[in-house]
C-alpha cells in the first residue's frame, strides 16, 4: 500500500514512510500521531507571511513535527528533523476550535513544519472550524499529490506555498526532493481554487533565478503575492553568507516580466514589505519588517478593499463569507 499524501508515494506495507508520520494498519493508511502537535501559538497573519488575506488578523498557529523534505537551510530543523524526542501534546479538533473561539481567533493556521505530514488531522480540524465560522490556512512546500492538493484546497481558505526554484537539480541538492514538477502543478491548481501566496527563500545559490521565477509566476497569475525571503544562515548552511540586500533590491527593480506584488523580507527595516496600489502606486498598507519571517502591519489605508487615492479595487481579501455547515 502506497501513501498518497505526497509525491514520494512511499510504500507503507513494510512500516512507516519517509516522513515517519504514516503507517498502514487495519487495511488503511493511518497517521502515527493524530492530532499531536509541537506548537500551538498566537501570531499575526502577516508573520506567515500572508499579506493579501484579512490584513492584521490574529491567527492560532499549529505545527506538528517531521517533514517530507530535508532542506539544507531549514530554519525549523529542530522540529522538521528532530534529533531527539520532541515535547508534543495532543489537541483534538474540538479542543482546537474551543481554543480559537475562546481567544477570538478568526483563523487557524497550520505551519511551522510541513502540513502534508499531518494532513488528515489538519483537514478534520479545518472541517470543524468551518462549521464554527472559523477560517483555516496552511503553509506547505507544495510537494503534495494531486489528490491531497485538491482535498487541502477544498478545506483551507488560504495557502502560503514555498517555491524554492524552478530546477529539479536545486530541489535534489538543497531539499532532498527529486523534482519541482508537482510543486509547479500544484501552484497552477491552487491559484485557481483558493487564495495563494508564494514564498521563495533566496540564497546565493538561487538568487540568479529570480527573473525566471518572476516570469513563471507572472505566467500563472500576476495577482499572486510573491514573498522573497532573504534566507539567513541556518541548519546545514549555517556558514553560508546571506544574499546582499541591495543585490535583491536591484534584481527585483530591474524585472520586466513579474507579478504585481513582490515583497522582500527577513531583514530589519525593509521598505519592500509595504503594499502599493498597482493602478496608481499609492501606498495602501505599511508594514514593519523586524528582521524575522514576514512583517507586522503598521497602517492599513484601504477603504474596504479600495485604494483611498484612486478608488481602484485591490487584490486583497478583506472579507470572507464564512461558510458554515
Ligand atoms: S506523506 Fe510521508 S509517508 Fe506519505 S508519501 Fe509523503 S513522505 Fe511518504
Question: At 267, which CATH number?
Answer: 3.20.20.70
Q: Indicate if ligand 1 lies below 6 Å from the C-beta of 69.
A: no
Question: In this structure, which residue's CA is closest to atom 2 in ligand 1?
Answer: 19
- pLDDT confidence of residue 324: 47
Distance CA 19, CA 172 (A): 16
Owning domain of residue 152: 22-300
pLDDT in tens, 60-92: 999 999 999 999 888 888 898 877 788 999 999
Angle at the Cα of 100 from the Cα atoms of 96 and 104, rounded to 5 degrees? 170
- Rounded to the nearest angstrom, the distance between the alpha carbon of 80 and the centre of ligand 1 is 14
The kind and range of the H/E element at 98 are helix 93-102
Q: Indicate if ligand 1 lies below 6 Å from the C-beta of 24.
A: no
Examine residue 46 and state whether it is found in any structural domain, yes or no. yes
- Rounded to the nearest angstrom, the distance between the alpha carbon of 248 and the centre of ligand 1 is 35
Residue 154 CA: distances (Å) to CA of 52, 123, 127, 150: 19, 9, 10, 6
Q: Which atom of ligand 1 is nearest to the CA of 16?
A: 3
- pLDDT confidence of residue 322: 59
Task: Report the predicted TM-score, pTM, of the whole model to 2 decimal places.
Answer: 0.95
Examine residue 138 and state whether it is found in any structural domain, yes or no. yes
Q: Indicate if ligand 1 lies below 6 Å from the C-beta of 19.
A: yes
- pLDDT confidence of residue 325: 42
Q: How many domains does the chain have?
A: 1
Mean pLDDT for all residues in the chain? 93
Q: Indicate if ligand 1 lies below 6 Å from the C-beta of 10.
A: yes
**If you average pLDDT over residues 17-34, what whole number do you get?**
94
Examine residue 6 and state whether it is found in any structural domain, yes or no. no
Q: Indicate if ligand 1 lies below 6 Å from the C-beta of 113.
A: no
- Rounded to the nearest angstrom, the distance between the alpha carbon of 44 and the centre of ligand 1 is 30
Examine residue 209 and state whether it is found in any structural domain, yes or no. yes
Q: Indicate if ligand 1 lies below 6 Å from the C-beta of 21.
A: yes
Examine residue 160 and state whether it is found in any structural domain, yes or no. yes
Q: Indicate if ligand 1 lies below 6 Å from the C-beta of 267.
A: no
**If you average pLDDT over residues 180-187, what whole number do you get?**
98
Whether the per-residue pLDDT at 284 is higher than 80: the answer is yes
Contact between 35 and 90 (Cβ < 8 Å): yes
Q: Can you state the angle between helices 181-193 and 146-155, rounded to 10 degrees? A: 30
**If you average pLDDT over residues 93-112, what whole number do you get?**
97
- pLDDT confidence of residue 124: 98
Examine residue 132 and state whether it is found in any structural domain, yes or no. yes
Length of the chain: 325
| Other C-beta atoms lying within 10 Å of the C-beta of residue 83 | 7
pLDDT band at 4 (very low <50, low <70, confident <90, very high): very high
Question: In this structure, which residue's CA is closest to atom 5 in ligand 1?
Answer: 9
pLDDT in tens, 141-172: 999 999 999 999 999 999 999 999 999 999 99
Examine residue 258 and state whether it is found in any structural domain, yes or no. yes
Examine residue 317 and state whether it is found in any structural domain, yes or no. no
Nearest to 285, CA basis, from 319, 267, 266, 309 = 309
Amino acid at each position: 500500500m502506497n501513501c498518497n499524501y505526497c509525491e514520494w508515494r512511499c510504500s507503507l506495507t513494510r512500516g512507516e514512510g519517509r516522513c515517519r508520520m504514516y503507517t498502514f494498519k487495519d487495511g488503511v493508511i493511518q497517521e502515527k500521531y493524530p492530532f499531536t502537535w509541537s506548537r500551538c501559538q498566537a501570531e499575526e497573519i502577516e508573520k506567515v507571511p500572508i499579506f493579501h488575506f484579512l490584513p492584521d488578523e490574529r491567527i492560532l498557529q499549529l505545527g506538528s513535527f517531521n517533514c517530507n523534505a530535508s532542506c539544507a537551510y531549514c530554519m525549523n530543523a529542530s522540529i522538521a528533523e528532530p534529533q531527539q524526542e520532541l515535547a508534543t501534546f495532543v489537541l483534538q479538533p474540538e479542543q482546537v476550535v474551543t481554543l480559537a473561539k475562546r481567544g477570538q481567533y478568526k483563523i487557524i493556521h497550520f505551519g511551522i513544519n510541513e502540513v502534508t505530514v499531518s494532513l488528515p488531522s489538519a483537514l478534520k480540524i479545518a472541517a470543524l472550524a468551518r462549521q464554527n465560522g472559523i477560517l483555516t490556512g496552511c503553509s506547505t512546500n507544495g510537494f503534495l499529490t494531486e489528490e491531497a492538493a485538491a482535498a487541502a484546497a477544498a478545506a483551507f481558505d488560504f495557502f502560503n506555498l514555498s517555491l524554492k526554484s524552478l530546477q529539479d537539480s536545486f530541489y535534489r541538492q538543497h531539499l532532498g526532493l527529486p523534482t519541482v514538477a508537482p510543486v509547479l502543478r500544484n501552484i497552477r491548481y491552487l491559484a485557481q481554487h483558493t487564495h495563494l501566496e508564494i514564498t521563495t527563500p533566496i540564497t546565493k545559490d538561487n538568487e540568479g533565478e529570480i527573473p525566471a521565477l518572476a516570469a513563471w509566476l507572472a505566467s500563472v497569475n500576476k495577482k499572486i503575492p510573491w514573498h522573497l525571503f532573504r534566507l539567513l544562515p541556518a541548519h546545514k548552511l549555517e556558514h553560508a553568507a546571506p544574499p546582499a540586500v541591495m543585490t535583491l533590491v536591484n534584481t527585483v527593480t530591474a524585472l520586466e516580466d513579474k507579478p504585481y506584488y513582490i515583497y522582500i523580507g527577513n531583514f530589519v527595516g525593509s521598505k519592500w514589505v509595504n503594499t502599493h496600489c498597482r493602478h496608481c502606486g499609492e501606498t495602501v498598507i505599511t508594514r514593519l519588517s523586524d528582521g524575522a519571517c514576514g512583517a507586522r502591519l503598521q497602517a492599513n489605508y484601504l477603504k474596504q478593499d479600495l485604494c483611498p487615492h484612486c478608488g481602484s479595487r485591490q487584490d486583497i481579501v478583506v472579507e470572507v463569507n464564512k461558510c458554515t455547515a
